[in-house]
Structure 1
Amino acid sequence: MKKLVEFSSEALASLRPFTNKYGEHEAKEPNKLRTTLFPAVRAGSFGLLRDLHALYIMSAEIHISLAIVMQASKELRDEELLNVCIEMDEQNKRQQAWLMTQIEHRASHTLVVPQ
């Protein structure tokens, strides 16, 4: 999980020049999504499975957001922004693959073996 935080920090840093260039508008939806997906600390193996599931949903939201920004960067003819988004999308796909592997690995044991 520590690595996922690191990836997020790197993504934020790589987008910073573009927020300076195009401006920044703070949306409330990301905080609402986070609160909905992670309402409280979850304990145990089932809690971990639910957290992995929530992270996967969040990564899907990021994928869609990147697709939108990529289209905007094409319209703006901003190759630098497009390249950053492509790199971030590739990283996002790797994160989704890792999350799915973790979910598949943990699901059967978590759901079938009595706690």
Structure 2
Amino acid sequence: MLLPVYLGMLERSESALAQFFRQVAEGHGDEPDVFHLCHTLAQQCERHRRSLQPVIDRYGEQPDDEPERLHTDALDSTREGPLGLLRDLQDLYLLASFVDITWTAVKQAAMGVRDEELVSIVEGCEGETKTQLAWLSTRLKQAAPQALIVAS
């Protein structure tokens, strides 16, 4: 069974997403909505990680480097200005999309092994991840005109 690979990947990608949400919050603190909401979304990611612990205790966790591959040097710092905000939101969206599709894969496996506890965990976390993606998409749409047309 290779479910432990995806459980480990999910745990580490949620951790990376939480870290980058906090980094963007601090790096773009002049945008009050970004500052506050990114901190809130980081806390959600940490809750997701904690909710996985009983399942990881049961199935185990196998190392995989996928989240680290996604967490490139570009995610090690935030960029400045309107274009920087736009690009940082885009990076967050990419990482959140990875988390989202990983939740989908884990849910399919949970249904395959008829693990109702894991299905329940996934459904709660997956819904919040989709909300994170929706906010990122909306905020990116809001930031794009300022960054691409007005700013120079």
Confirm whether residue 33 of structure 1 aligns to residue 70 of structure 2.
yes
Show the counterpart of 1:8: 45
Structure 2 unmatched ranges of 5 or more = 1-37
Show the counterpart of 1:49: 86
* 3-state SS in 2 of match to 1:111: helix
Q: 1:65 to 1:37 in 2, by over 3 A?
A: farther
Inter-partner Cα distance in structure 2 for 1:8 and 1:114: 32
Q: How big is the alpha-carbon RMSD for the aligned residues of Structure 1 and Structure 2? A: 1.3
Inter-partner Cα distance in structure 1 for 2:61 and 2:82: 39
TM-score (norm 2): 0.72
Q: Is the 8 A contact 2:110 2:118 kept in 1?
A: yes
**How many residues are aligned here?**
115
Confirm whether residue 75 of structure 1 aligns to residue 106 of structure 2.
no
Structure 1 unmatched ranges of 5 or more = none
Runs of 4 or more, structure 1, over 4 Å off, are none
Inter-partner Cα distance in structure 2 for 1:43 and 1:112: 16
Q: Report how far residue 36 of structure 1 moved.
A: 5.5
